[in-house]
Amino acid sequence: MSRISPTVTSKLSILGEQLTDRLGRVHTSLRVSVTDRCNIRCFYCMPIENVNFRPREELLTFEEIERFVRIGVTVGIRKLRLTGGEPLVRSKLPRLVERLAAIEGVDDLALTTNGILLAEQAAALQAAGLHRLNVSLDTLNEETFQKISRRTGLQRVLDGIFAARQAGFEDIRLNAIAIRGLTEAEIIPLAEFARSNDFELRFIEFMPLDAENQWEREQVLTTQEIRQILEAAFCSLEPSPRIDPSQPALDYHFADGRGRIGFINPVSQPFCSSCNRLRITAEGQVRNCLFSTTEWDARSLLRGGGTDEQIRELVRELVRDCVSHKHPAHGVGEVDFVKPARAMYQIGG
């Protein structure tokens, strides 16, 4: 299969191609789901049983993912994040990382993982060119871990986090879902763990993307409540400079200089106005939002036999059409909010 050369990519970048929507948001970030499969069953993401995963032949191949990213780079995509499901269950994932890291124009390549398989793969991922890691860590208590994930494995997650550091990853963020009635007791231990080990910790509000439709707004544990708990236990939290205006997190640092905390508030404080992200699912459907009810089929283009140049033009128009339909807010909690038909694991976190 022929591919776009770095020379063509550089020329197009110089021409200033951008994915700008009708609200002026310039889209430079692409989240790539590599699988809908997962080795745990977190209730905020997946059903506990009877999961119908996509057949392997429906998933984009590494070559198709690389091709789509190369095309995306020519219209302004600069940041990539690999997601799932659990991306580390995808066989030979470091090979994909190596291919994506080699694409001229990709400035940032990150991965979100539950950490279960990270200890075994951290060194290979780092050697392949992965820049950053986000690891889901909702609790430091095995009993609570099992309540959330419906599986065992907390120690494997912790081992994976430290293996990643040993492998050379310097930018490791810990993501904790904040759920009222369940995770309040986890806030202080997680913060102490992050402070003691120099990890950045981010609390994420519980979103209505669970497969079992159990989400209720009353379960959302807000930033204000978490801040009160943290400041009572440690010291005041002071706002950190917002380096990237498109980032979803509101960042703070502890006044004593020990640690950083971020808050991602898609329910209570939506960040849609500055969102610069697009998504492609494991089977090749382009989405402009986690909460989108519309998808655009890229797989049929990638498998349609066209030349790279033809597919580049088609994908650019497809993506721009997708961006033009991106709404100013997702509307969670509003009367007319419509929950996506697919759960988080099927979309890509």
Residues belonging to the binding site for S-adenosyl-L-methionine are: 44, 85, 136, 207
Instruction: Report how far Cα 285 is from the mean position of its chain's Cα atoms.
Output: 16
CB atoms within 10 A of CB 165: 16
Instruction: Report how far Cα 172 is from the mean position of its chain's Cα atoms.
Output: 14
Helix axes 6-14, 62-74, angle to 10 degrees: 30
CA-nearest of 267, 100, 239 to 179 is: 267
CA-nearest of 200, 206, 202 to 262 is: 202
- Binding-site annotation, residues for [4Fe-4S] cluster: 38, 42, 45, 272, 275, 289
CA-nearest of 173, 81, 164, 166 to 116 is: 164
- Binding-site annotation, residues for GTP: 31, 81, 112, 277-279
CA distance 75 to 293: 24
- Binding-site annotation, residues: 31, 38, 42, 44-45, 81, 85, 112, 136, 207, 272, 275, 277-279, 289
Pairing of strands 79-83, 200-205: unpaired
CA distance 17 to 310: 17
Q: Where are the beta strands (DSSP E) in the chain?
A: 29-33, 79-83, 108-113, 132-136, 172-178, 200-205, 237-239, 249-254, 260-264, 277-280, 285-287, 296-297
